[in-house]
Amino acid sequence: MGMVINLGVSIFFCIFAAELEICIMNEINTYLVHWTGPFTPEEVLQLEQENKWIYELYLIKGKVNNCKKCRYYCGEALSRGAGERFKDGNHHIKDFKEVEEIWAGYIASNLKPKQSDVFAVEKIITAYLKEEVGNNFMLNQTNKKFPKYDVCVINRWYKRDGETMRLKLKDGSPSKIIPAVLLHYAYGKVHEIHGSQRIKCLKVIEE
């Protein structure tokens, strides 16, 4: 499978707006994902129960067995929520000897996301992580290939309160590895990834 990585350090508003305009004109599925964390498994469940909110996506970073390097896992939990999924006896979270970070995410939309929407986001993030950290460091058994259609995912990372943007991201964290903007183009067996690690704030205007 061919692949082209084209990531910049920051993205100016005009470029970002142009990319979004391309997405709209070409009818590219575009998703804004609100990530909050990092949490422990118990905290995710408690958060969902208290707020009666379901996190449809989650990212896990941790260590397995006696390995020094961390492994990663990206999953979806549209029907039940991430916290409930973690309680399953056969869930991959049981493969981690030590869980370092869990990021809980949901697709920000006026409409409830469909299963196909959640799968599209999970697929592109999992595939991108595999390319960045290596297949041996991913616990996902499936969904590690890029989709055959064009997708744009905009990731926003928040502190545990869910309201404050997290500006400083820890090295090795999924929040640092996954870019703020992921724009995927599929050309047969060739996949191009465009985007930016960060969206730069140009101005703050008070009225």
pLDDT tens string 187-201: 988 988 888 888 777
Confidence at residue 16, expressed as pLDDT on a 0 to 100 scale: 45
Q: Hey, which residues does 7 pair with through a beta bridge?
A: 195
- For the chain, list residues with pLDDT below 70: 1-26, 52
pLDDT digits (tens, 9 = 90+) for 3-40: 444 444 333 334 444 444 444 445 788 999 999 999 99
Confidence at residue 26, expressed as pLDDT on a 0 to 100 scale: 54
Helix (H) or strand (E) holding 155: strand 151-158
> How far is residue 37's CA from residue 171's CA, in Å, rounded to a whole number?
15
15: left (phi over 0), alpha (psi -120 to 50) or beta: alpha
